[in-house]
Chain A
């Protein structure tokens, strides 16, 4: 299935939203306005958006420590995300998650796992849940090339294939697990090929081409909704920035400045898609209008986040436990609250 005209413009909008959000975030991080570690998704926008565009709003999703792009790709509001990065009370996770955990449940994200491979079983469980509840929901599971060497990848793909679960395993293969290349960590460098061993289709796509990712994801989602089981998609992409902003890595560089420059110049997913849209007859004015709309949205989010308060220290223990169930015995008290 191809993206229609309206979807193509929406895909461009979301990719650009990720790019501008990350650029602004990087600037704020360097200025000391965002604490912790900042992992930008710049360069990987087409993979994220192409996959998310194949989902419905009620489909579940899990992501990774490189978490900012995923909610934006799925259509989340920016303000709560930016406020979360700054550790504000108005953040989507109330300042309890931060950069590696930008999970927005209103768009179906159940968690962004900073434990590499940690989201793979959870996404598998979302699919199991959909099957038990007899809905036609699918779940989309983002993970990186490093995660496929975790045991959870092997265990989860086996179970999903065994039970024909509606899950799309989407590997954002950006070539490096922090500094470790595929050549130095994978006996079989094709990640898509691993699918065959589990009894599911494995597809390799150009992760810099949003249309190609969408088409592969759409086919995988349709397969899941039909009850035919999971699919593994390997999207070849590239991380333009360092693993995390400002990270100093001593010794020999693990990738050359030429390699990075070449990707930035000729493999930028947003520039590639922009040219394709112009070539397909979309007017420059239309794209400019989207570009300024996106910039306004990011500016608004920064303004919202900056003016939001930090969490009240009195709320430290909030969100730890749910309300106690109501027991028939009147003597029950919530004694964990007292301590």
Chain B
């Protein structure tokens, strides 16, 4: 349970990350009749309960036309609805990228604020399943480069529920990258329907004094495991979950580095121009003098995700790599 939740003694229920996604959508669809869902084969990708609960005016089961149903969602958002567009697997975001980038992200600015685009684009990071490179991408870094978008990438059941609900209520386009590795992971989730996690606020998952680890989505679990191993050796690790990738809560990260003087960043996206690159640059600019050792980045290499499990399993940072990276800068 997160520090924020512990402090407030909220009523909560145990549920998986995937159940929290479904619950968040049901609550928001029930709360606001302007909320609609659009996507392909929604029931196949975990939203069966949502599809069963609402009529076809609320749940638009679309043809395989990612570019245009995404664009249609944007037109609907501008004219009074609050659509949740489900793109299922993150690699399909490339097909939806033109309307997301050229229309959703830009129209508020390009019209001088005449229109707003309250829309959510959901997709899952679907790697580690031997489905090869065209279904396994973690493409959030390229969207971080687009002004006008907000991007969240939660790592716990509570956070995905609270952030998805915040995204639906936000007046700007919000992209949600859901880590499919986390779908079965259970955790306490507040049951209050008005409980939200704010977009743009990181969380200190675990306080520590020797080294800071910033871990994103599916990289959180091996980072927590690594911290356990290190704790047994007397090394105190502080772990930060940014939760929102854009706008990034740099203050929480810099404050932690000020305390520890050491930074390891862990994520499963490819290395070049990743979020790790950006965090490293920010800390280099704003907190260089606080660093005792060089920043370490642990990412997937600049190689496509291979099909064979023998190859795919070495792609991503694991507990041992994280432990080794920490020890390298002690």
A residues at B contact (CB < 8 Å):
60, 62, 91-97, 101, 103-106, 110-111, 113, 115, 118, 120-133, 139, 151-152, 155-156, 158-159, 162-163, 318-325, 327-329, 331-336, 339
Contacts and interface: CB of A to CB of B under 8 A. Distances in A.
Nearest to B83: A125
B75 A322 contact: no
Contacts of B58: 132
Contacts of B48: none
A322 B116 contact: yes
A91 B167 CA distance: 31
16 contacts: A92-B114, A97-B111, A101-B110, A103-B111, A104-B114, A105-B115, A110-B79, A120-B71, A122-B71, A155-B65, A155-B69, A319-B108, A319-B109, A320-B148, A322-B116, A336-B247
B105 to A, nearest CB: 10
B68 interface: yes
B96 to A, nearest CB: 10
Given A118-B103, A329-B198, A103 B114 contact: yes
B68 A129 contact: no
Given A122-B74, A126-B79, A321 B172 contact: yes
Contact of B75 (A103, A129, A163): A129
Contact of A118 (B99, B115, B147): B99
B63 to A, nearest CB: 6
B166 A325 contact: yes
A121 B198 contact: no
A121 B74 contact: yes
Contacts of A131: 57
Interface in B85-140: 98-99, 102-103, 107-116, 118
B102 A115 contact: yes
Interface of B: 4, 36, 57-58, 60, 62-63, 65, 67-81, 98-99, 102-103, 107-116, 118, 147-148, 150, 166, 169-172, 194-196, 198-201, 246-251
Contacts of A163: 60
Contact of B250 (A91, A324, A335): A335
A328 B251 CA distance: 20
B200 A335 contact: yes
A96 B246 CA distance: 23
B81 A111 contact: no
B72 A111 contact: no
A334 B103 CA distance: 24
A152 B68 contact: yes
Given A156-B68, A318-B113, 12 more contacts: A92-B111, A96-B111, A106-B114, A128-B81, A131-B57, A133-B80, A139-B75, A152-B71, A159-B72, A321-B108, A332-B201, A336-B246
A329 B98 CA distance: 35
Contacts of A324: 170, 199-200
A121 B76 contact: no
Contact of A115 (B57, B98, B170, B172): B98
Nearest to A100: B110
A134 B14 CA distance: 39
A5 B70 CA distance: 42
Given A95-B112, A101-B110, A110-B75, A118 B102 contact: yes
A62 B113 contact: no
A96 B169 CA distance: 26
B61 to A, nearest CB: 10
A95 B112 CA distance: 7
Contacts of A152: 67-68, 71
Contacts of B112: 91-97, 319
Contacts of A139: 75
Contacts of B170: 322, 324-325
Contacts of A125: 71-79
A156 B72 contact: yes
Contacts of A320: 108-109, 147-148
A129 B109 contact: no
A335 B282 CA distance: 14
B69 A121 contact: yes
Contacts of B199: 324
Given A115-B102, A336-B247, A96 B67 contact: no
Given A121-B99, A332-B200, A93 B76 contact: no
A319 B103 contact: no
A105 B114 contact: yes
A111 B80 contact: no
A154 to B, nearest CB: 8
A121 B70 CA distance: 8
B71 A124 contact: yes
A110 B110 contact: no
Given A118-B98, A132-B36, A335-B200, A111 B107 contact: yes
A230 B171 CA distance: 29
Nearest to B68: A155
A122 B198 contact: no
Given A96-B111, A124-B71, A159 B99 contact: no
A128 B72 contact: yes
A113 B63 contact: no
Contacts of B116: 322
A324 B248 CA distance: 15
Contacts of B71: 118, 120-122, 124-125, 152, 156
Nearest to B149: A321
A94 B112 CA distance: 5
A322 B114 contact: no
B78 to A, nearest CB: 5
A152 B97 CA distance: 13
A333 B76 CA distance: 29
Contacts of B63: 155, 158-159, 162
B171 A322 contact: yes
